[in-house]
A and B are shown apart, each in its own frame.
Chain A
Amino acid sequence: MEEFLLRLQESDFGVWVSSAPTLLAYPTILMLHTVGLAMVVGPAWVLDVRLLGYGARLPIESLRGAFRIMWIGFVINASTGIALFVSEADDKGLKWIFWAKLASIALALIVTSRLRRAVFAGGVASDVAPPNARGLAKASLVLWLAAITAGRLMAYVK
């Protein structure tokens, strides 16, 4: 495992990301990872607070487009995340906090897809959220916050 992580990190691509003397390498990739974060978590939280009953005059159906933004944000973050991981694979790959971040994201994605099915699958979304939507919305709020927290702590936890 460690040998594989080290090979990744020392690959041409890994070395380019971590040490190319240009702002377009590590700094820009890291910045785009934050843009993606906002595009995934921002709309997710808007949808969550709406499903929890806030801003009830807003038709839930009008938030269907949130999933498109989240999807674009997710693609940005999966690709920038892979690039960032490769560049420090031998460090991050051995940290429990990195795996905690991935687990939070995996759970958040499962919750998000269930939420989408519960609220938006049957044609025009009803403005009375289905009974299980509240629980899913709460889980989504907490899991995305957990993913952000674990991601930030990757810079600190040894």
Chain B
Amino acid sequence: MFLTFASWLHKTPISIVLQHQVAWLWPFCETLHFAGLALLLGVAGMFDLRLLGFMKRVPISVVKEFMPWALVGFTLNLLTGMIFIVSEPAQYFGNPTWWLKVTFLIIAGLNAFVFETAYGRRAAALPAGEDTPTPLKIIAAVSLISWAGVLWAGRMLPFLGAGVGAGL
């Protein structure tokens, strides 16, 4: 089913435009994908460490002020990632490792959603210096592990499960 979708996508005008784009588009997007990764993990990682009990004297709401930068990194990676997928859909849809990456992304997303909806207010109200409750520590650990999973699966794409010759 997904491979049918992939071959349809590959023939759409937007995909054809991207496939015949200037040669530097792909390396350019890859570079942005790595820069976005550093920005996202740098900021989200700092927030997770705070929830785990590091930098305890700083209120969680203050650390959270940096989150827009994580969102910049995430958006950068979503856009460049979509350019990769639309250009070469089969390379991704046909690779189980890419589905693993998507799974880790969904876990990271759901985890962030649970934090926002169920614990956001509680975290913001936590006085500086106080130990973070266990649920928040679990959320932080799940976040760190799932982002590490995204990175691991992403970087393993060309080596693990790749049927189509992918660029390293």
Point out residues on A near B: beta carbons under 8 Å. 23, 26-27, 30-31, 34-35, 37-38, 41-46, 49-50, 54-55, 57-59, 62, 65-66, 144-145, 148-149, 151-153, 155-156
9 contacts between A and B (CB under 8 A): A27-B160, A37-B34, A42-B39, A42-B46, A43-B42, A45-B42, A46-B43, A55-B65, A153-B27
Least Cβ distance of B147 to chain A in Å?
9
Asked whether, in the complex, the Cβ of A23 is within 8 Å of the Cβ of B159, the reply is yes
User: How many of chain B's residues have a CB under 8 angstroms from any CB in A?
Assistant: 32
B30-76 CB contacts (< 8 Å) to partner A: 30-31, 34-35, 37-39, 41-43, 45-46, 54-55, 57-58, 62-63, 65-66, 69
Contacts of A23 in B (CB 8 A): 156, 159-160
Main secondary structure of the interface of B (DSSP, over half): helix
Q: In this assembly, does B151 line the interface, its C-beta being within 8 Å of a C-beta of chain A?
A: yes
Instruction: Choose from B31, B46, B151, B159 the contact partner of A153 (Cβ within 8 Å).
Output: B31
Closest 10 CB pairs of A and B: A42-B42, A41-B38, A27-B159, A31-B155, A38-B41, A55-B65, A152-B31, A57-B62, A62-B55, A42-B38
Contacts of B69 in A (CB 8 A): 45-46, 49, 54
Instruction: Choose from B37, B65, B168 the contact partner of A57 (Cβ within 8 Å).
Output: B65
Least Cβ distance of A116 to chain B in Å?
17
Closest to A155 in B: B168
Contacts of A59 in B (CB 8 A): 57-58
Q: In this assembly, does B152 line the interface, its C-beta being within 8 Å of a C-beta of chain A?
A: yes
Instruction: Choose from B151, B160, B167 the contact partner of A35 (Cβ within 8 Å).
Output: B151
Asked whether, in the complex, the Cβ of A62 is within 8 Å of the Cβ of B159, the reply is no
Asked whether, in the complex, the Cβ of A45 is within 8 Å of the Cβ of B39, the reply is yes
Asked whether, in the complex, the Cβ of A155 is within 8 Å of the Cβ of B151, the reply is no
Asked whether, in the complex, the Cβ of A30 is within 8 Å of the Cβ of B155, the reply is yes
Contacts of B151 in A (CB 8 A): 31, 34-35, 38
Contacts of A50 in B (CB 8 A): 66
Asked whether, in the complex, the Cβ of B34 is within 8 Å of the Cβ of A152, the reply is yes
Report the bound CA distance from A148 to B66 in whole Å: 22
Least Cβ distance of A23 to chain B in Å?
6
Q: Which of A43, A44, A50 has the most C-beta atoms of chain B within 10 angstroms of its own C-beta? A: A43
Known contacts A27-B160, A43-B46, A44-B42, then 9 further A-B pairs from the complex at CB < 8 Å, ordered by chain A residue: A35-B148, A42-B43, A43-B42, A45-B69, A46-B69, A55-B62, A59-B58, A152-B30, A155-B167
